[in-house]
Structures are given as C-alpha cells and as structure tokens.
Amino acid sequence: MNSLTTLAGLLLAILLTACDQPPAEKPLQYSRAPAGVVTPTYRLAIHPLHNPQKLSEAYQPLIDHLNRQLNGVQIELEASRDYPTYEKKFRAREPAFLLPNPWQTAQAMKVGYHVIAMAGDAEDFKGIFITRKDSGIKLPADLKGKVVSYPSPTALAAAIMPQYFLHAKGIDINRDVQNVYVGSQESSIMNVYLGKSAAGATWPPPWRLFQKDHPAEAAQLQLIWETPPLINNSVMVRDDVPEVVRTQVTKFLLELTQTPQGKTILASMETSRFHGADDASYGVVTNYIQRFEKEVRLVESK
C-alpha cells in the first residue's frame, strides 16, 4: 500500500511540474502581412553577371529597397551558377522578373516576357579584351594560335560582340584561336591573370568590380581593345504578372536616381540608372545576331 501511495504521489508531482512549465519557445517570424495572410512573392532572376555570392552582394540592396516600397507583394533575388542554367529557367517561365542580357532578352520574348526597363546606359554595353601587361600582345593577329576566354557562348557583350570584333579584324574565330567558355565574367578575367588564356573577354561593369575587389591582380592586367556599344541589359516581366505589380516595380526602378539611397544602390550594381524601354527597343539585337550567325557562328549549337 505504501508503495502504491508513493507511486501515486510521484505521478502527481510530475503532472504538476509539467503544468508549471512554459510552452516550448517558437522561432519568431517576421512578416509585413497580417497573421494568416500569405504575401505574394515574385522572383527576380539575374543572369550570371558575377558568381552567386557577388551577385547577391551587388543586387540584394536593390531587392531590399523594392520590398520596402512595394505594396502587398515581395521580391526575391535569384542567382544562377552559369548561363545555361539561367536560360533554362526563363525558358520554363519560372521567374516572374528577369534581368537578362540583350540576346537572352530576345529569347525570353518568345516565351512571354516583356521589357519594362533597360539597366544602365547603352554606351556601357560593349565587349572588352583583357590581357596581361607582360603578354606582348598588341594586335588582334597576335592572338592566332592562342586561347581566348569568355563567360559563355551566349554572353552578348562578353563573347558574341568580342568575337565579331575579331572577325572584323580578320581573325577566323573558329580556326585561328581556341575559344574557352569558363562560366562567369570573373573567371574569364582570372584565366588571363593565371596565364590560362592569352586574352579574356568581358564587359565594363565586371572589369570595374574586379579592379575594386582585386587591385593587386588587376594591376598586372590591361584593357587592350573594346567593341562598339549596342544596347544594355533589360528588365523583363512575365506576361501573367498583375499589371499593378509590373507598374510599381517599373516606377521604383526608374526613380532610383532621385535619392542618395537610390544612387548608392545603383553604384553597388555598377549601373548608372534604369531607363524606360520596351520590346521594340531590342530590335537592334535581333538584327545584330542575324549578321553574327551568318558571318561568324551560331549562338547556340543545334
């Protein structure tokens, strides 16, 4: 009997102790929407201007700014490890918003995206060639028999335009040089620094960023040639995104130059400003690619 009384007392004590304990702590959740309301979220996918970490560092301030301004929706930044991955995403109509290069812009139009702005000045969209200062390369002909690095065969400013430049200088880019596609703008530059390629193609924003981030390495390199400019990267929206969301995003992009904070955000992206633009603005790209494919190579292998 005593043992039963003792057991009952022990069970009672355990139950009373459990009642006195506070409930398990739950992680705090932060939301602009009332409890139970799901805020619609749209992804902005940016083509591989930089590696994913550097892309996030450059563009997350823009995403944060948009999210402070937007009413009832949120934007998420999406990076891609390489050009084929990015192009697969928009061809599947996955992201709601895109920041593609001009060639990708023309491709995205085919699957229902439309241009709402141009990112940066058209004059800044040009191909440039980087060489080591001790390379001895002075003329395009000096590249014959050597390796040239590019981010991707579909990189307009950093592959297509430089190859057209070499073609115009009498270089058969399919026979006279060895073309190596290394995945990113920074990799194209680093291949030159490491001596893996005699010249690397890129475009001005990544080169400016490389000079800031890697001054010692950049001091051993030089910009040797540049192509004529074309038209800069676009901002696009998928055709099923509500008009009110499209209008808000366009407005806030175009207004960035009007405040010190906006100018700081633009500087982090190496972008002067966003300009108004539409699908028709990119007709020059279609004409350019037609000439390039006729005279040099196909942009994509069939």
In a domain, 36, yes or no: no
At which of 211, 226, 241 does a domain end?
A: 226
Per-residue CA distances from 9 to 1, 12, 248, 293 (Å) = 12, 5, 66, 88
In a domain, 52, yes or no: yes
Residue 116 shares a structural domain with residue 240: yes
| More confident site: 24 or 110 | 110
Residue 102 shares a structural domain with residue 249: yes
In a domain, 191, yes or no: yes
Query: Among residues of the chain, what percentage have pLDDT more than 70?
Result: 87
pTM of the model: 0.82
Residue 247: pLDDT over 80: yes
Residue 73 shares a structural domain with residue 217: no
8 A C-beta contact, residue 292 and residue 136: no
Residue 62 shares a structural domain with residue 189: no
In a domain, 34, yes or no: no
Residue 241 shares a structural domain with residue 97: yes
Q: What pLDDT, on a 0 to 100 scale, did the predictor assign at position 261? A: 96
In a domain, 29, yes or no: no
Residue 278: pLDDT over 50: yes
The strands making up 74-78's β-sheet, listed across from edge to edge, are 74-78, 41-46, 97-99, 234-238, 113-119, 274-276
In a domain, 1, yes or no: no
8 A C-beta contact, residue 118 and residue 275: yes
Residue 187 shares a structural domain with residue 110: no
Structural domain containing residue 63:
41-122+231-295
Residue 116 shares a structural domain with residue 131: no
Residue 104 shares a structural domain with residue 133: no
The 10s digit of each residue's pLDDT in 182-204 is 988 999 999 999 999 999 999 99
The 10s digit of each residue's pLDDT in 60-79 is 999 999 999 999 999 999 99
At which of 181, 200, 226 does a domain end?
A: 226
The enclosing domain of 186 has a CATH number of 3.40.190.10
Can you tell me the mean pLDDT for 278-286? 96
In a domain, 48, yes or no: yes
Residue 219: pLDDT over 80: yes
Can you tell me the mean pLDDT for 289-296? 97
Q: How many other β-carbons are positioned within 10 Å of the β-carbon of residue 298?
A: 11
At which of 226, 252, 284 does a domain end?
A: 226
Q: Evaluate the CA torsion angle 193, 228, 276, 266 in order and state its sign.
A: positive
Residue 84 shares a structural domain with residue 132: no
Residue 148 shares a structural domain with residue 90: no
The secondary structure element, H or E, covering residue 274 is strand 274-276
In a domain, 25, yes or no: no
The count of structural domains within the chain is 2
Residue 131 shares a structural domain with residue 222: yes
Can you tell me the mean pLDDT for 44-49? 93
Q: Average pLDDT over the chain, rounded to whole?
A: 89
Residue 82 shares a structural domain with residue 145: no
Q: What pLDDT, on a 0 to 100 scale, did the predictor assign at position 54? A: 87
Residue 13: pLDDT over 50: no
The 10s digit of each residue's pLDDT in 84-123 is 999 999 999 999 999 999 999 999 999 999 999 999 999 9
Residue 3: pLDDT over 90: no
- Give 18's pLDDT tier (boundaries 50, 70, 90): very low
